[in-house]
Structure 1
Amino acid sequence: MADTSWRKSSYSNNQGGECLEVRDDTPGFIPVRDSKVQDGDTLTIGADAWTSFLEHLKH
């Protein structure tokens, strides 16, 4: 997956903290990776589960 398609969390900074990146251009699922290990493993989450997870975080 091209690095330009990844989006870093809005809570991330450039201080080397714990950061996640996601992709929005993959219909039906959301790839998630550690921004510090870009060539490492990617966790793939179903779109419905991702939406539910984000809604839970908001509450």
Structure 2
Amino acid sequence: MDATAWRKSSHSDETGGACVELAQLGGVVGLRDSKAPNSGHLTLTPQAFATLIIQAKRDELPH
């Protein structure tokens, strides 16, 4: 049983779309799709995660 505490993003919608979950995994931040939690996850350093959030808020990410 996975004891990791995954939290769904407050920006995820209630109809099952755009569902991103986050977890503190030791010294890194884990990201996964809540619709497919067993398909793996991405890990980022806290600094890389902060940069990702800043770029997303500025709409600077590739589409």
TM-score by length of 1: 0.76
| CA shift for structure 1 position 27 | 4.2
Matched, 1:54 2:53: yes
Quick check: which has more Rg, 1 or 2?
A: 2
SS of residue in 1 equivalent to 2:56:
helix
| Equivalent position SS for 2:43 | strand
Gaps of 5+ in 2: 59-63
Could you tell me the percent identity over the aligned residues? 35
Equivalent residue, structure 2, for 1:33: 32
Q: 1:2 & 1:15 partners in 2: Cα distance?
A: 26
SS in 2 for 1:49: helix
Q: Which consecutive residues of structure 1, in runs of 5 or more, have no partner in the other structure?
A: none
The letter for the 2-side match of 1:37 is A
Coordinate RMSD, CA, aligned:
1.7
* One-letter identity of the residue aligned with 1:20: V
Q: Which runs of 4+ in 1 moved over 3 A?
A: none
**CA–CA separation in structure 2 for the residues paired with 1:35 and 1:11:** 13
